[in-house]
Amino acid sequence: MKDDGLSRSINAAMVPILASLGCWGVEDGHWLPDRNGAPVLWLRTRTRAEQIRLQSQVWLIPQVQLTLMRLGVPHNVVWPLRVEITSTDAEAELFTD
């Protein structure tokens, strides 16, 4: 899959990923490639408590991987995927310290 097609597939998957995680406090998310070109999915919750609770869920990465594969992202891209979670609270603390 070309990079443009990969980007489109990942962008398309962000909508259902964010919708399915809204009840866990996820209010925003995006993806960026890491140094090796593998996608890293960044999710933002409202509170640090929601962030910690979501990070402890064993189903999170498999759910994200399944959604990506259903929307055409190849297995070799999905398998090494990293999911990073932050919160609005944590980001605000960066600017107050």
| Regions of the chain short of the pLDDT cut 50 | 1
- The pTM score is 0.85
> What local confidence, expressed as pLDDT, does residue 5 receive?
81
> What local confidence, expressed as pLDDT, does residue 37 receive?
77
> What local confidence, expressed as pLDDT, does residue 3 receive?
73
Helix H segments across the chain? Answer: 3-21, 48-55, 60-70, 75-78, 88-96
Task: Tell me the CATH number of domain 3-96, given options 3.20.20.70, 3.40.50.720, 3.30.300.30, 3.60.60.10.
Answer: 3.30.300.30
> What local confidence, expressed as pLDDT, does residue 46 receive?
95
> What local confidence, expressed as pLDDT, does residue 30 receive?
93
Residue ranges per structural domain of the chain: 3-96
